Amino acid sequence: MREPPYYNTFFKTTHVPAIALAAKIAELAQGDLKHMFYAGAGSEANDTNIRLVRT
């Protein structure tokens, strides 16, 4: 079975390439990075940040 070209990350699901990329980003980033959220575009990222702050 092939990996999907995109994946919905709003329902606490993931796939192997996303996990590998998050691990590499966490390794390269400074600090104690525990969570990663991918967004398809800047507007989606901004909207998600606003939603996260409000909850």
pLDDT tens digits in sequence order for the chain, 55 residues long:
576 666 666 677 787 888 888 899 999 998 888 888 888 789 988 998 898 888 7
Q: Taking the domains of the chain in order of start, what are their residue ranges? A: 8-29+37-55
φ/ψ bin of 23: left (φ > 0), alpha (ψ from -120 to 50), beta (otherwise): alpha
The whole-model pTM stands at: 0.60
49, 43 Cβ separation under 8 angstroms: no
